[in-house]
Chain A
Amino acid sequence: MLSACILFSCTKDEPTLDVTKNGQLKIKFDQIVGGKKLILNETTYTNNSEEQFIVSTAKYYVSNIVLTNNNGQSYTVPKSESFFLINAANSESLTPSVLVPEGQYTTLQFNLGIDSITNTLPVSERTGVLDVAGNDMYWSWNSGYIFFKLEGSSTSSTTADQKFRYHIGLFGGYDTKTVNNNKTVVLDLSKAGTAIVQENLSSDIHLMVDLGKVFDGKNKISIATNSTVMTSGPHQLIAENYAQMFTHDHTHNYQKISNE
């Protein structure tokens, strides 16, 4: 009993993360569709509904990053530094990096979307990737960010221009409780490579992002049945699917910090 107490208090008393010694953590988002690399406007892919399609736009917000180390201690990246717009058309956006205290991190958690508080910020605080102009990820008539955008063309589409368009958002409502399509993604890093963060070095976490899961995840989505999904249609099913797109592939530790 006594030793249990001591043990317990030991973990309790363990110094919190040393925030004076920070290293870089880089997250690389490698976009794929099924087993194939994503090449915008070029490669043809098929889904399990046997529909052929090409992808022209793939964009989504990653925010509120939290890391947990092998001692079970969590580090939440300061909110203001924690908003990223991953855009397949912009290679710079695919490798966001953050500064985190030294440690061996076994869990990466982030939010896919933009939380409700951020959705209701005054305009003066909406800058950078949150700017309501220029990012093409904001609904002006139903005020809120679009969390996830996947567009492309397919002969299975029922729209006149043979396109499919999935724009998924909805943050839970301002004064009336509505649908919330924010999804928390939690990835265990211990199996494919714990992220070892050290001062002046970078730990690079490689994630595979399978956009094919949008059609063939937990829920089956067909382009013929749902060529356009925005605030009506199966947006919640697509959100459940995009929550499952991410897998941790491998980690490169002790990398030099470069400005690439």
Chain B
Amino acid sequence: MNKRQILFFIGIIGLVIACQKTDDKLDTSLFEFVQPEHFPAPVYNLASNPISKEGFELGRKLFYDPILSRNNTISCGSCHISQHAFTHHGHDVSHGIDDRLGVRNSMPLMNLAWSKGFFWDGGVFHLDLAPIAPIENEVEMDEQFVTVLEKLRNSKDYPTLFQKAFGSSEINSVNTLQALSQFMLLLISDNSKYDKVIRKETNFSAAEQRGYTLYQQKCSTCHQEPLFTDYSYRDNGLGINPSQDQGRYEITGLESDKLKFKVPSLRNLAYTSPYMHDGSFITLEAVINHYRREIKQTDNLDPLLRNGIALSNMEVSDLTAFLNTLNDEKFIRNTLFSEQP
């Protein structure tokens, strides 16, 4: 080998190593929690449940596995469909085991690391504890969580997968819930046009810009940037529905909480119809008309909505243009989040 050949050889090796390096990096960075710059610090304590590729994949498998339901027919993914920002598109109230119907509309699963309370009434205060509610709910999956653990222990695949993710093949409530959280924590939606504008990668159109200003004046107190909710519970004047759902009151028992529901995010509305806690609104137009002229003067109606929200037809079209900048196509098309073949 002459000097030239040696150099060439070393160069090749270097290239191979460099390639491998970037490959590895790409691979693991997909499974890292990347803090979006314009988001606040997460509420979830990530150090308590460090996310790994294996943990995420185990969580995803659990999420799409109907073994979590009594008769092995319903998975979390049945009601939380990735292409619909993890809602149950086409269903006003949840449609669960044996075709039983619930009283509430399935919620999108996104940006959960920032959430302080879960479900429309905030009855669960930690993401790790959230999955037990649908599993044990008799109109959803109708299974005892302890039986789910038993089924997982007796399955062919899971003990090995738990071993890979947590270093032990023992399956218990803690690691099962933590795996589900690892999957759900990475469901981050931060790539809408709005996010790109904030990151100065693009600009709003004139109509979107006018709509943004209107949003800031009329909606932002409750649907606060950048997550488009302030995570509070409020009554936006829908009135009581036939299933007599009192929302937050069901948890706190306080009169002042009657008909209050968690303020939902305005992200990804294009994919999450129907809207509101009971899915009674099919279109965005109907929602906006509610705020314009259908507010019910209930006891706990939020003071901001006492007189409704005045919007001209022109303003409605601008506001809608802005709301459409909150749709994150990359999020709903991310194959990493969907059921694996």
Residues of chain A whose beta carbon lies under 8 Å from any beta carbon of chain B: 120, 122-124, 126-127, 131-134, 138, 140-143, 173-176, 178-179, 231-232
Report whether A176 and B178 are in contact in the complex, using a CB–CB cutoff of 8 Å. no
Please tell me if B125 contacts chain A, counting CB pairs below 8 Å: yes
Which of the segments B90-98, B126-134, B281-289, B331-339 contacts the partner chain? B126-134
Please tell me if B123 contacts chain A, counting CB pairs below 8 Å: yes
User: Known interface pairs A123-B174, A123-B177, A179-B253. Does A132 touch B48 (Cβ–Cβ under 8 Å)?
Assistant: no
- How far does the Cβ of A122 sit from chain B's closest Cβ, in whole Å? 6
Beyond A123-B178, A141-B137, list 15 extra A-B contacts (CB 8 Å). A122-B128, A123-B173, A124-B48, A124-B174, A132-B132, A133-B146, A133-B173, A140-B124, A140-B132, A140-B136, A142-B124, A142-B251, A143-B129, A174-B125, A179-B253
- How far does the Cβ of B179 sit from chain A's closest Cβ, in whole Å? 12
Q: Which of B45, B252, B257 has the most CB of A within 10 A?
A: B252
Contacts of B146 in A (CB 8 A): 133-134
User: Known interface pairs A124-B48, A133-B145, A133-B173. Does A178 touch B252 (Cβ–Cβ under 8 Å)?
Assistant: yes
Contacts of A123 in B (CB 8 A): 126, 128-129, 173-174, 177-178
5 smallest CB-CB distances across A and B, nearest first, come from A140-B132, A134-B146, A133-B173, A133-B146, A174-B125
**What would 10 A/B residue contacts be, using CB atoms closer than 8 Å?**
A120-B125, A127-B174, A131-B172, A132-B129, A133-B173, A140-B132, A143-B129, A173-B252, A175-B116, A178-B251
Please tell me if B119 contacts chain A, counting CB pairs below 8 Å: yes
Contacts of A141 in B (CB 8 A): 119, 123-124, 133, 136-137
Please tell me if B149 contacts chain A, counting CB pairs below 8 Å: yes
Bound CA span A3–B206, Å:
88
Please tell me if B254 contacts chain A, counting CB pairs below 8 Å: yes
Bound CA span A174–B174, Å:
21
Report whether A232 and B253 are in contact in the complex, using a CB–CB cutoff of 8 Å. yes
Q: Which of B119, B125, B149, B250 has the most CB of A within 10 A?
A: B125
Contacts of B77 in A (CB 8 A): none
- How far does the Cβ of B234 sit from chain A's closest Cβ, in whole Å? 13
Report whether B48 and A131 are in contact in the complex, using a CB–CB cutoff of 8 Å. no
Residues of chain B whose beta carbon lies under 8 Å from any beta carbon of chain A: 45, 48, 116-117, 119, 123-126, 128-129, 132-133, 135-137, 144-146, 148-149, 172-174, 177-178, 250-254, 257
User: Which single member of A122, A132, A143 contacts B145 (CB below 8 Å)?
Assistant: A132
Chain A contact surface mostly: loop
Tell me the nearest residue of chain A to B123, going by C-beta.
A142
Tell me the nearest residue of chain A to B128, going by C-beta.
A123
- How far does the Cβ of B147 sit from chain A's closest Cβ, in whole Å? 9
- How far does the Cβ of A217 sit from chain B's closest Cβ, in whole Å? 22
Contacts of B48 in A (CB 8 A): 122, 124
User: Known interface pairs A143-B125, A178-B254. Does A133 touch B178 (Cβ–Cβ under 8 Å)?
Assistant: no
Tell me the nearest residue of chain A to B136, going by C-beta.
A140
- How far does the Cβ of B296 sit from chain A's closest Cβ, in whole Å? 24
Contacts of A143 in B (CB 8 A): 123-126, 129
- How far does the Cβ of A222 sit from chain B's closest Cβ, in whole Å? 22
- How far does the Cβ of B66 sit from chain A's closest Cβ, in whole Å? 19
Contacts of B116 in A (CB 8 A): 175
Report whether B129 and A142 are in contact in the complex, using a CB–CB cutoff of 8 Å. no
Bound CA span A178–B254, Å:
8
Bound CA span A143–B133, Å:
9
Contacts of B119 in A (CB 8 A): 141
Contacts of B148 in A (CB 8 A): 133
Bound CA span A227–B45, Å:
42
Bound CA span A122–B177, Å:
11
User: Which single member of B124, B135, B149, B257 contacts A176 (CB below 8 Å)?
Assistant: B257
Bound CA span A133–B250, Å:
23
Bound CA span A173–B123, Å:
10
Contacts of A179 in B (CB 8 A): 253
User: Which single member of A124, A134, A142, A176 contacts B250 (CB below 8 Å)?
Assistant: A142
Bound CA span A126–B145, Å:
14
Contacts of B254 in A (CB 8 A): 176, 178
Bound CA span A127–B257, Å:
33
- How far does the Cβ of B164 sit from chain A's closest Cβ, in whole Å? 19
Tell me the nearest residue of chain B to A123, going by C-beta.
B128
Report whether A231 and B253 are in contact in the complex, using a CB–CB cutoff of 8 Å. yes
User: Which single member of B125, B133, B174, B250 contacts A140 (CB below 8 Å)?
Assistant: B133
Tell me the nearest residue of chain A to B131, going by C-beta.
A140
Contacts of B172 in A (CB 8 A): 131, 133
Bound CA span A144–B22, Å:
46
- How far does the Cβ of A233 sit from chain B's closest Cβ, in whole Å? 11
Contacts of B251 in A (CB 8 A): 142, 178
Bound CA span A232–B173, Å:
28
Tell me the nearest residue of chain B to A236, going by C-beta.
B253
- How far does the Cβ of B243 sit from chain A's closest Cβ, in whole Å? 15
Contacts of B132 in A (CB 8 A): 132-133, 138, 140
Q: Which of B116, B132, B148, B178 has the most CB of A within 10 A?
A: B132
